[in-house]
Amino acid sequence: KNSEILFKYVVNKDNDEDTHHKTILDTNSIINYQGAVGFFTQSIMKELRLISGYDILYEKVKNFIQNELFDRKVNMEDLNLLATEAKVLEVAQENGKDIVLLDQTVFYPQGGGQPYDKGVIEGPSGKFSVEEVRFVEGIVKHIGKFDSVTFQTGETVKCIVDETRRALNSRIHSAGHVVDMAVTVLKLNWVPGKGYHFPEGPYVEYAGSLGELDKERLRTDIENLCNKFIGENRATKLIFMPKEKMHEACHHVPEYLPEGKPARVVMYGDFGVPCGGTHVNNLADIRGITIRKIKPEGSNIRVAYDVSGLKKLFS
C-alpha cells in the first residue's frame, strides 16, 4: 500500500489542515501508470548508464508495476477504459462549483486539442455529475455538482465516463492523426502543428505551402488515403519512449517535448505519433473520414475534416 504514494497525489490531515504532497511523478506531469513505466525505465537506464535494451527493460518495469507492486492488478492495456474505482482525496469548491480530487481517474482532462470527458462519480454517500475535467498543476480536477450529499474523504467511489462522448472524441482525435498519415504518404513536406479535435468543426494545421497544388484534387487524394487506412483495420498500440528514440517510430517529433523524459507514442500500425489524448482501438472504429476543405490559414495550411455521422449531430 505504501508504494502507492509514489504514484498518487497525497493529502494528509494534520491538525485539521490539509498538507498536499507532490511526488516526482506529479512534478513531471505523469498522471497514469503507463507514463510511470516510461519514467522509471528511463531513470533506470540513466542510473545504470545503459545505452541499449530500453524495450526489454520497459516490459520488465511494466510487468512489475502492473502485476506485483500493488495489492491489485493495474489495467494498462485498455486504450479507452471507461470505469474504475478510486478513493476520494478531497472535496472542495471553486468559483461556485464542486471539485473532487481522486487518487486515480479514468476521466480525460481537456488538452491536446481534445475536449474533456463527462460522466458520473458514484459513492455510498451520493452521486457527482462530472461536467468538466481539468489538469491543473499536476492535479486532475473533476468539476461539477453533487445530487445531494457530498463525498467523504477516504471513501471508495466508482468513476463512470460517458461512453458516447468519449467514443466520438476518440474517433475525431484519431481521425486527425490519420490525416497526418495521408499527408506523410503524399510527401507534401508539411510539418504538423495545431490540431482542433472538437466536434464543432475539427481540423489540423501544418506549416508549409500549397504552392501550385490543385486543392480539390489534393482534398480527394487525402480523403481517399484516409479511408484506405481505415479499411486496413490498423490496430492501435501505446508505447512510452524518450524523445531521442521517437524518430525510430515517428515521422515528426515536436521540438517542445522535453529531453530525457519518456512520453507516450500512439502507434497506428507502423505509423507513430507522440500524443496523450484518447484514441480508437482500431482505425476501423473511425468508420470514415471526409475532408471538408483545404485552405491557407495565416502562414499555415488548414485541413478541415469530419468523421462519419458527425454532421447528423449538428443538423
Identify whether residues 69 and 91 lie together within a single domain.
Answer: no
Identify whether residues 70 and 134 lie together within a single domain.
Answer: no
- Cα–Cα distance list, 178 to 103, 172, 204, 236, 245 (Å): 34, 10, 11, 12, 22
CATH number at residue 84: 2.40.30.130
pLDDT at 183: 97
Last residue of a domain, one of 105, 140, 161: 161
Identify whether residues 2 and 16 lie together within a single domain.
Answer: yes
Give the separation between CA 186 and CA 306, rounded to whole angstroms.
20
CATH number at residue 218: 3.30.980.10
Run of H or E residues at 207: strand 203-207
Identify whether residues 193 and 219 lie together within a single domain.
Answer: yes
Identify whether residues 223 and 295 lie together within a single domain.
Answer: yes
Q: Domain count for the chain, please give it.
A: 3
Identify whether residues 101 and 233 lie together within a single domain.
Answer: no
Identify whether residues 204 and 304 lie together within a single domain.
Answer: yes
Mean pLDDT of 153-180: 95
Give the separation between CA 69 and CA 162, rounded to whole angstroms.
30
> What would the pLDDT profile of 217-227 be if each residue is shown by its tens digit?
999 999 999 99
Q: Smallest Cα–Cα separation from 150: which of 224, 199, 100, 218? A: 100
> What would the grid cell of residue 96 be?
461556485
pLDDT at 143: 98
Torsion from C-alpha of 62, 64, 67, 71, nearest 10 degrees: -130
**Pairing verdict, β 97-102 and 191-196:** unpaired
Average pLDDT along the chain = 84
pLDDT at 312: 62
Identify whether residues 233 and 301 lie together within a single domain.
Answer: yes
Identify whether residues 242 and 202 lie together within a single domain.
Answer: yes
Identify whether residues 127 and 22 lie together within a single domain.
Answer: no
Last residue of a domain, one of 60, 76, 92: 76
Q: Smallest Cα–Cα separation from 264: which of 126, 111, 134? A: 111
Mean pLDDT of 104-121: 93
> What would the pLDDT profile of 22-56 be if each residue is shown by its tens digit?
444 544 445 456 567 767 777 888 788 887 787 78
Last residue of a domain, one of 45, 76, 107: 76
Identify whether residues 182 and 290 lie together within a single domain.
Answer: yes
Mean pLDDT of 184-198: 95
Q: Which domain holds residue 38?
A: 1-76
Identify whether residues 60 and 89 lie together within a single domain.
Answer: no
Among the ranges given (28-32, 75-79, 182-186, 211-215), the one the predictor scored with the smallest mean pLDDT: 28-32
Instruction: State the pTM of this model.
Output: 0.78
**Pairing verdict, β 119-123 and 97-102:** unpaired
> What would the pLDDT profile of 256-273 be if each residue is shown by its tens digit?
887 777 778 999 999 999
